[in-house]
Amino acid sequence: MVSEIVENDKTKKVRRSSGRTPIPAPDIEALTFDGKEPIERQVYLALRKALMSGSILPGSRISSRSIAASLGISTMPVREALKRLESDGALTSFVKSSFLVSYPSAREFEEILQIRLQMEGMLARNAVPLISLEQIREVEWLQERMSQSTSWRQVLNYNQQMHFTIYSAADMPYALSLVENIWVRIGPALHAIYGTKLSEEPFVHHNEIIQALKVRDPDMIDKAIRLDLEEAAETIEAKLRLEQAV
């Protein structure tokens, strides 16, 4: 509980609980403190990854103080990281050094989907002739872990890793950066598919994606990526419309 100092009727200082519940820190990767990369950038990248993988709920509140306390650092680098994420469109400033995780409207999500279909399809097609056998095995392992997971947080984390293992193989750094920025915006919205597919095989088109990588078929992977994105988007958009109609 947060406390504040007030005056009682005898002008003596006493402590009174403000009744505010501390904002919990999101679950992000630990920092290295090895001096190779500035702390602010490490915090920024860790938060980006958490947003991309859907580890942070949409509409949730994030506090620089709680994050700093959980990482054992000062609030200054955390504030700078959060301001950068606000510039990226992933967060909206709130009160007392806190931010809200942005939640796209159904219309915005539909626009983002059209961009993703073009960009991610292009990256996947270009990855097909370049991806190594080791990377394909990694994609298979991630899909296997997804199928065995009982936690949606784990499923979404493996899903993000699987997609970007493929996209990174395309050797198109500028396009990859654009897609990463899009995932930072829409990652939290993936929570909308909670409880809808976990009882079935998660992301059924992933097996088609893996097969396309193995046979080196760019048309096949383009189609599989499109179906994967469209089917997930259908569920997400339906929930967004329902929630935003209230």
Structure token pair of residue 239: 């929930």
Same domain, 212 and 225: yes
Same domain, 150 and 78: no
Question: Could you give the dihedral angle defined by the CA atoms of residues 229, 233, 236 and 238, in that order, rounded to the nearest 10 degrees?
Answer: -160
Same domain, 155 and 77: no
**Domain-ending residue, one of 70, 101, 132:** 101
Strands (E), the chain: 3-7, 13-17, 61-63, 91-93, 98-101
> What pLDDT was estimated at residue 67?
92
**Domain-ending residue, one of 83, 101, 119:** 101
> What pLDDT was estimated at residue 5?
30
Mean pLDDT of 75-98: 91
What CATH number does residue 130 fall under?
A: 1.20.120.530
Write out pLDDT tens, residues 145-186: 998 888 888 888 999 999 999 999 999 999 999 999 999 999
Same domain, 85 and 143: no
Residue 48 φ/ψ, nearest 5 degrees: -60, -45
Helix 206-215 to helix 152-168 angle, to the nearest 10 degrees? 20
Same domain, 113 and 91: no
Same domain, 44 and 115: no
CB 225 within 8 A of CB 121: yes
Range(s) of the domain holding residue 138: 106-244
CB 48 within 8 A of CB 182: no
Structure token pair of residue 242: 């329902």
Same domain, 91 and 114: no
Same domain, 156 and 88: no
Structure token pair of residue 37: 């990369």
> What pLDDT was estimated at residue 179?
98
Instruction: Report the alpha-carbon distance of residue 118 to residue 136 in Å, rounded.
Output: 22
Which pTM value belongs to this model? 0.83
Write out pLDDT tens, residues 91-148: 999 887 789 998 888 889 999 999 999 999 999 999 999 999 999 999 999 999 998 8
Structure token pair of residue 176: 């990859």
Same domain, 122 and 222: yes
Higher pLDDT, 57 or 210: 210
Q: How many domains, the chain? A: 2
Mean pLDDT of 3-10: 36
**Domain-ending residue, one of 37, 70, 101:** 101
Instruction: Report the alpha-carbon distance of residue 4 to residue 203 in Å, rounded.
Output: 49
Same domain, 88 and 122: no
Tell me which long-range contacts 176-184 makes (C-beta under 8 A, separation of at least 24): 176/123, 178/119, 179/116, 179/119, 179/120, 179/123, 180/48, 180/52, 181/88, 182/112, 182/115, 182/116, 182/119, 183/51, 183/52, 184/48, 184/51, 184/52, 184/85, 184/88, 184/89, 184/90
> What pLDDT was estimated at residue 8?
39
Structure token pair of residue 160: 């993000």
What CATH number does residue 76 fall under?
A: 1.10.10.10
Q: Quick one: DSSP state of residue 193?
A: G
Same domain, 22 and 116: no
At position 160, the amino acid (one-letter code) is: Q
Same domain, 87 and 129: no
Q: What confidence tier does 2 reach under pLDDT thresholds 50, 70, 90?
A: very low
Provide the mean pLDDT of the chain. Answer: 85
